[in-house]
Amino acid sequence: MLVYEFKLKGKQQQFNLIDEAIRTALFIRNSCVRYWLDNKQVGKYDLSSYCKILAKNFEWASKLNSMARQASADRAWSAISRFYSNYKKKVPGKKGFPKFKKRGHSVEYKTTGWKLSEDRKYLTLTDDFEIGKLKLIGTYDLHFYQIKDIKRIRLVKRADGYYAQFCIAVDRKIKEKPTKKAVGLDVGLTHFYTDSDGNKVDNPKFLCKSEKSLKKLQKRVSKKFKKGQPQSNNYKKAKDKLARKHLKVSRQRKDFAVKLARCVIQSADLIAYEDLQVRNMVRNHKLAKSISDAAWYQFRCWLEYFGNIYGKITIAVAPQYTSIHCSSCGRQVKKSLSTRTHKCICGAQLCRDENAALNILAKGLSTVGHIGTNAWGQNDLCLDLETSVNKSAG
């Protein structure tokens, strides 16, 4: 599945109608969750049929396209099914019980309720909201794909404007010559990651670099806020500037993760990394901001995504004892977080993170039948990789 995003250009009246459509979609999603709470035996198709009842009872809800209403019901069922799945798997901690959302930022249309112009540069929404014709601004060319391949269109509201996302059903595969190289990655805060070859990538720390300007913008918002009174236009402008700055930081972080993940996937045939539980790690309030700014989980998601596209092996291994065990002899060498050099009585002396990366690679090579592994399915390749690693270690 490919997702192409375009910025929308139109009149303010059209954007106001998009906001109304987003609020309607949010109402249907929350109503479906309420219906499930009152009737625990309902399923996915029951929620879809419940959308018809909502359209009859609320005239303004019927303005939204029927398939867009079903897409909102699908969102509710996605939260419900995730809760059931976590409960059956006995996931520790909170199971993600479905909640009502206060704010919505997008509305989805399936195969009806919209149409593209012949030159594929204009999008027209045809439901009863009468949003009309909007211009698509972007660099992607939709002429390469058939209209029937576009399964969904999502209208998204962000701090800097409105966007249209086209979800295209395409099986994307890229073939490359095998590099016969395996690598282990150990992520950290000092360096974003250190691989088993000793290469290091610095942590960009986008939030830390922008923190001074963010505090300044947040201070302006606080000064212009009037409690118990209608907010002025200056308050709204200051709030928009703050939101755009946060959006820029998140885009920088995503761009870094995407480009770095693609480079790692293209440079090796097997990539082993830690299966970190970031949700639990951010409970440490002293490191929570730095961990969130590093975006390790986002980097992992893109590694697995590009691994599937390029046909590479991606393995998530347990992170326990990877920093303590010696990569040469296997002895346990306990050390504090401030100790950055690994020293063992066997004579091994190397960077702490590089030692951990070697242990991660060794665990990855010994893993068999991993759920999160994407591979060509060639046994000879794994033998070549293991042989090359043993030669480099010797």
Query: Could you tell me the pLDDT band of residue 34, with boundaries at 50, 70 and 90?
Result: very high
Average pLDDT over residues 94-120: 90
Query: Dihedral of the CA atoms 369, 370, 372, 373 (nearest 10)?
Result: -50
| Per-residue confidence (pLDDT) for residue 369, from 0 to 100 | 46
pLDDT in tens, 221-243: 999 988 888 888 999 999 999 99
Q: Whose CA is closest to 26, among 59, 71, 56, 67?
A: 71
User: What are the phi and psi torsion angles at 52 (to 5°)?
Assistant: -65, -40
pLDDT band at residue 286 using 50, 70 and 90 as cut-offs = confident
Q: Which tokens sit at 243?
A: 């939101």
Q: Is the dihedral of CA 158, 164, 167, 172 positive or negative?
A: negative
What pLDDT, on a 0 to 100 scale, did the predictor assign at position 134?
A: 94
Q: Is the pTM of this model over 0.85?
A: no
Task: Give the model's confidence band at 348: pLDDT under 50 very low, under 70 low, under 90 confident, else very high.
Answer: confident
CA distance 280 to 86: 16
- pLDDT at residue 345 in the model: 74
How high is the pLDDT of residue 375? Answer: 41
Kindly state the tokens that stand for 192.
Answer: 């974003």
Residue 95 confidence class, pLDDT cut points 50, 70, 90 = confident
Q: State residue 23's pLDDT score.
A: 95
Question: Across residues 326-349, what is the average pLDDT?
Answer: 77
CB contact at 8 A, 365 and 389: yes
What separation in angstroms does the CA of 285 have from each of 211, 280, 281, 288?
Answer: 17, 11, 9, 5
Question: Is residue 356 over pLDDT 90?
Answer: no
For residue 305, pLDDT beyond 50: yes
Domain ranges of the chain: 2-168, 182-393
- Tell the residue number behind the tokens 């479906």, with chain if given: 32
What average pLDDT score do residues 101-126 get?
A: 91
Q: Any long-range contacts for 201-209 (C-beta under 8 Å, 24+ apart)?
A: 201/260, 203/294, 204/252, 204/253, 204/256, 205/290, 205/293, 206/249, 206/252, 206/253, 206/256, 206/293, 207/249, 207/253, 207/289, 207/292, 207/293, 208/290, 208/293
Residue 392 has pLDDT above 50, yes or no: no
Question: Is the model's pLDDT at 386 over the cut of 70?
Answer: no
Buried b (16+ CB within 10 A) or exposed e, 199-211: ebbebbebbeebe
Tens of pLDDT, residues 177-233: 888 888 989 888 888 988 888 889 999 999 999 999 999 999 999 999 888 888 889
Q: Give me the pLDDT at residue 299, please.
A: 92
CA 390 to CA 358: how far, in whole Å? 12
Q: What is the pLDDT of residue 122?
A: 93
The two tokens of residue 270 are: 């097997």
